[in-house]
Amino acid sequence: MEGVACASFTSSASKSLSFSSLSQSSIITLRQNYHNNTLKSKSPRKLVIRASSGSSSGSVVTLLDYGAGNVRSVRNAIRYLGYEIEDVRTPKDILNADRLIFPGVGAFASAMDVLTKTGMAEALCTYIENDRPFLGICLGLQLLFDSSEENGPVNGLGLIPGVVGRFNSLNGFRVPHIGWNALQIAKDSEILDDIGDRHVYFVHSYRAMPSNDNKEWVSSTCNYSDDFIASIRRGNVHAVQFHPEKSGDVGLSVLRRFLNPKSQGSKPTQGKASKLAKRVIACLDVRTNDKGDLVVTKGDQYDVREQTKENEVRNLGKPVELAGQYYKDGADEVSFLNITGFRDFPLGDLPMLQVLRHTSENVFVPLTVGGGIRDFTDANGRYYSSLEVASEYFRSGADKISIGSDAVYAAEEYIKTKVKTGKSSLEQISKVYGNQAVVVSVDPRRVYVQGPNDVQFKTIRVPKPGPNGEEYAWYQCTVNGGREGRSIGAYELAKVVEELGAGEILLNCIDCDGQGKGFDIDLIKLISDAVSIPVIASSGAGAVEHFSEVFMKTNASAALAAGIFHRKEVPIQSVKAHLLKEGIEVRI
């Protein structure tokens, strides 16, 4: 079976439509409307394979950016390596490219819709069939296959035999596959020569599987439940499922090898990567202080003001500088939380958007941003959907967006009506960008009760009795920065947001925030056992032992800390050295 995209879209109308003629809203509309393709069988395509010549020695790279997700990081990585970028605006730009990079982001059907309606699909096939230097990233790899099951079946470009399917979560594997995993090199891949046994960063829910029909393409695999295709190479054509622009210095070496095949990288640092690593995440709570400056602060049970006469906002540094330092220190991800976002209009928060833009210029690990991502109407009566708000954050450098209060409201509505409206920010954004791009941030507090039948929410038996001798507790969700409690438990919320399209849960705890006594293991175990998506443990870390404890006692995929990193009480490298000593795999 083969996709039909390369042969079917030849009308002059589609060829004349360029990316530059599409507004952001029209791109979003295109991506939302592509769900009804009919698959057709065709004879296999014959590709002309040339030896890798390395003849593209110029400093210009052509980038196929179809308007979805965070492509800024790819741009920054290319520029960081000393190359200039020319954007594809018409199909002819693809055919005239010396080197083409296609950083596909988002959902398969949405991407194919844009490619076909702009006339890019046929040009892309012609370029690749002629063995021109090509690098596809993530979805840029998946689109080369016959078809995908994502919102489908949906036709792909039909260049590589195979169907892109969803990961199987039945064996306890979390879906999406998010984090730093190891590669098994299958053959001479050229662009992977400098990796060594190091981790690279993946974030996806769908993957292509190796088979006899596509084995001549496969240059490396990765194991997550099964062995899936991590990269392909045939002649000058390369594609990777992982994100080199988010894989630190290892990923930059992949891009450097593609851009200049004759380059000689330094001898790769040998690692011990063998499987998906546990992630250590640095979080930066960002807000404007009383002088109007954007600062990194840290709360004590969500109170960010100093306990002094001046009662000023706690200032622990500048966001861009701290993020850059954490990248150098080995943080696996950096998370920004705009803690005034629930009050202010986020698209009017230009300083926060600038923080993302500047950070992504030199920080090549994933960036998450949260705070106020919801539908808005500004002072002039102009309505902005949460999808438009999220799109601006993605275009400014975010890889994932974090939704807090709005996810609570959506979950409450769903529990009441049992109807998925598709209108919540969570549903809108995950539909267009994929659930791997959406994190739900949960801010619960412990509420003690005498018995499990005292409330309608999931309770736990507590190891230590409550203030009045209570033996049970439930976790009440809050909104507006922990200021308002809601009638929904963290367990119930987690189950619902997974169903609505969340790809990851950031699990905070108001009781433990800023206390330095360790994560709330009971809460994290409760939630990580309840869902099949990754859970990030947050709030309470004060020592390296707290990280090993949460990984050994719960199914958390990552652990996040803020204050202990800001105040240099516990360095990130100390955390990782301790985890390695305890036999827990981490990226080094």
> Tens digits of per-residue pLDDT, 6-30?
644 333 333 344 444 444 444 444 4
- For the record, the structure tokens of 335 come out as 């998370």
Residues 222 and 187 in one domain: yes
Please give the annotated binding residues for L-glutamine, written as ranges.
Answer: 138
204 is catalytic: no
Residue 454 binned pLDDT confidence (cut-offs 50, 70, 90)? very high
The answer to whether 210 and 229 are in contact (CB under 8 A) is: yes
Range of the domain at 409: 279-582
Give catalytic status of residue 138 as yes or no: yes
> What phi, psi does 55 have (nearest 5°)?
-80, -15
Domain-ending residue, one of 259, 293, 327: 259
- DSSP state string for 299-320: -BTTB-B-SSSS-PBP----HH
CATH of the domain at 532: 3.20.20.70
Map residue 434 onto helix, strand or coil: coil
Tell me the per-residue pLDDT of 300-310, one tens digit each, with 9 for 90 and over: 444 444 455 54
Determine which one of 243, 358, 546, 578 is catalytic: 243
Domain endpoint, select from 259, 287, 309:
259
Q: Residue 86's pLDDT is what?
A: 96
Q: Which of 146, 333, 443, 504 is catalytic?
A: 443
Overall average pLDDT of the 139-161 stretch: 95
Distance CA 500, CA 411 (A): 8
Please report the pLDDT score of residue 180 as a whole number.
98
Model confidence at 40: pLDDT above 50? no
Burial of residue 328 (CB within 10 Å: 0-12, 13-18, 19+) is exposed
Query: Minimal CA–CA distance to 553: which of 529, 525, 577?
Result: 525
- Is 243 among the residues known to form the active site? yes
Question: Residues at the annotated binding site for substrate?
Answer: 372, 508
Contact 564, 516 (CB under 8 A): yes
> Which pLDDT does position 451 carry in this prediction?
96
The Cα–Cα gap between 139 and 107 comes to 8
Question: Is 65 annotated as catalytic?
Answer: no
Instruction: Provide the 3-class DSSP secondary structure of residue 195.
Output: coil
Domain-terminating residue out of 203, 225, 259: 259
Tally of domains in the chain: 2
Mean pLDDT of the chain: 85
**Domain containing residue 126: CATH number:** 3.40.50.880
Predicted local distance difference test score (pLDDT) of residue 22 = 45
Q: Residues 113, 122, 245, 585: which is the catalytic one?
A: 245
In single-letter form, the type of residue at position 324 comes to G
**Would 20 be classed as within a structural domain?**
no
**pLDDT score of 540 more than 80:** yes
Same domain, 351 and 491: yes
**Tens of pLDDT along 512-524?**
998 999 999 999 9
What pLDDT is attached to residue 384?
A: 84
Task: Round to whole Å and give the CA distance between 105 and 115.
Answer: 13
CA distances from 347 to 278, 294, 377 (A): 33, 16, 11
- pLDDT for position 128: 98
- Give the residue carrying structure tokens 């997550």: 224
Strand partners, 137: 103, 240
Q: Which of 2, 65, 125, 138 is catalytic?
A: 138
Q: Is 443 a catalytic residue?
A: yes
| Cα angle 407, 410, 411; round to 5 | 85
Which of the four pLDDT bands, split at 50, 70 and 90, describes residue 481?
confident
Active-site residue among 2, 146, 285, 412? 285
> Do the beta carbons of residue 393 and residue 401 sit within 8 Å?
yes
Q: Given phi > 0 = left and psi -120 to 50 = alpha, else beta, which region is 381? A: left
- Looking at mean pLDDT, say which of 32-36, 334-338, 561-565 comes out highest: 561-565
